[in-house]
């Protein structure tokens, strides 16, 4: 099983949001040294919690400052954009880092409805076009022909070259799993969105409905993205996890706040019900001493028949986040 990274460029209290972007570049370089397979960047808009609004730009910076690790988006929220422009952006990325670029495609807005409308005035119907957009992006990215009756069949996404970005379908429901299976593409389930709810069903659908494309340009590959925080001790992990607990409790109230420090997290006034829900959520994530976190990740791999796990870690101290990735890399024999 491969280990990879999903970075959302989390915004922290008492820090300027633009610092989160620079922290992502530094973390990517560290994770390359730790032996991680790929480094994915998320897309969110008008958020007080996440700074990563343009993964295609951040991916270019990371690709230019690394040498081995695969780099890409997880994902590009395709209904916001024209398929041709997305294909062109990732063909340029492929020219910057040949053989190292990933293009994860998602249907969710990564924002609220008003922001989605600001990004695309046709947002109310764009999601329905997602399968057709996936078909078009895949063809333009790879240089494969579009259907004979397609109005844009003769258009080319430059710059062409010997390599093509690797396309993944992202999702948190059966819809994305079935779409990935239909197109014969790799699939990544957003396990951390819902603490794993629906993962088994979606991955079962993917495994059982997968259609091998002809020619066989893609392989059946299943991944999940999980929240994991590994520390030297359980006590240390629980201390830093307070930030995530408070963040998710506020998110459930509809408030997308910067990640608080553990001390700030303790000052929030949560109800007993919210505190119980926070505890359940933290237990379902992968938080603790590094050996136990690694053991649980291996259990998840076996349970869901995974080829890869991408880890997202939002913690108040950037050094603690980097250390968590290092500890897990050591547990898996990557360094």
d(CA 335, CA 333): 6
Tokens of 291: 């050996």
d(CA 216, CA 143): 15
* In the chain, domain spans: 2-230+288-331
Question: Which neighbouring-strand residues pair with 226?
Answer: 311
User: 44-58 pLDDT, tens per residue?
Assistant: 999 999 999 999 999
Contacts (Cβ under 8 Å, ≥6 apart) of 51:
9, 10, 11, 17, 18, 20, 21
Position 236 scores a pLDDT of 98
d(CA 100, CA 97): 6
Question: Which neighbouring-strand residues pair with 72?
Answer: 40, 102
Q: Are strands 70-77 and 38-41 parallel, antiparallel or unpaired?
A: parallel
Mean pLDDT computed over every residue of the chain: 95
Position 110 scores a pLDDT of 77
Choose among 65, 59, 143: nearest CA to 101. Answer: 59
User: 188-229 pLDDT, tens per residue?
Assistant: 999 998 888 999 999 999 999 999 876 555 678 999 999 999
CATH superfamily of 2-230+288-331: Luciferase-like domain (3.20.20.30)
Contacts (Cβ under 8 Å, ≥6 apart) of 59:
41, 71, 72, 73, 93, 101
Tokens of 45: 């808009």
Residues of the chain with confidence (pLDDT) below 70 = 214-218
Task: Give the three-class secondary structure for 39.
Answer: strand
Task: Give the three-class secondary structure for 8.
Answer: coil
Position 194 scores a pLDDT of 84
d(CA 332, CA 324): 13
d(CA 263, CA 268): 10
């Amino acid at each position: 099983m491969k280990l990879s990274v999903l970075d959302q460029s989390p915004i922290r209290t008492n820090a300027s949001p633009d610092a989160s972007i620079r922290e992502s570049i530094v973390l990517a370089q560290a994770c390359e040294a730790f032996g991680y397979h790929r480094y994915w960047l998320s897309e969110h808009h008008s958020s007080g919690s996440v700074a990563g609004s343009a993964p295609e730009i951040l991916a270019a910076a990371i690709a230019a400052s690394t040498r081995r690790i695969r780099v890409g988006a997880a994902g590009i929220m395709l209904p916001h954009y024209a398929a041709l422009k997305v294909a062109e952006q990732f063909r340029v990325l492929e020219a910057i880092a040949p053989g190292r670029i990933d293009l994860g495609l998602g249907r969710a807005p990564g924002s609220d409805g008003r922001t989605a409308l600001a990004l695309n005035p046709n947002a109310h119907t764009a999601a329905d076009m997602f399968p057709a957009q996936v078909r078009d992006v895949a063809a333009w990215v790879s240089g494969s022909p579009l259907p004979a009756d397609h109005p844009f069949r003769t258009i080319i996404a430059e710059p062409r070259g010997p390599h093509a970005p690797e396309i993944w379908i992202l999702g948190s429901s059966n819809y994305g799993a079935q779409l990935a299976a239909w197109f014969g593409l790799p699939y990544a389930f957003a396990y951390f969105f819902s603490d794993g709810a629906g993962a088994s069903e979606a991955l079962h659908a993917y495994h059982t409905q997968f259609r091998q494309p002809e020619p066989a340009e893609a392989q059946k590959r299943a991944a999940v993205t999980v929240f994991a925080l590994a520390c030297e001790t359980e006590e240390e992990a629980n201390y830093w996890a307070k930030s995530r607990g408070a963040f998710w409790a506020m998110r459930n109230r509809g408030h997308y706040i910067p990640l608080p420090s553990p001390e700030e997290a303790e000052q929030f006034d949560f109800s007993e019900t919210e505190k119980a829900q926070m505890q359940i959520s933290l237990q379902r994530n992968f938080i603790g001493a590094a050996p136990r976190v690694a053991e649980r990740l291996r259990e998840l791999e076996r349970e869901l028949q995974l080829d890869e796990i991408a880890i997202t870690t939002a913690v108040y101290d950037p050094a603690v986040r980097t250390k968590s990735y290092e500890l897990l890399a050591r547990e898996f024999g990557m360094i």
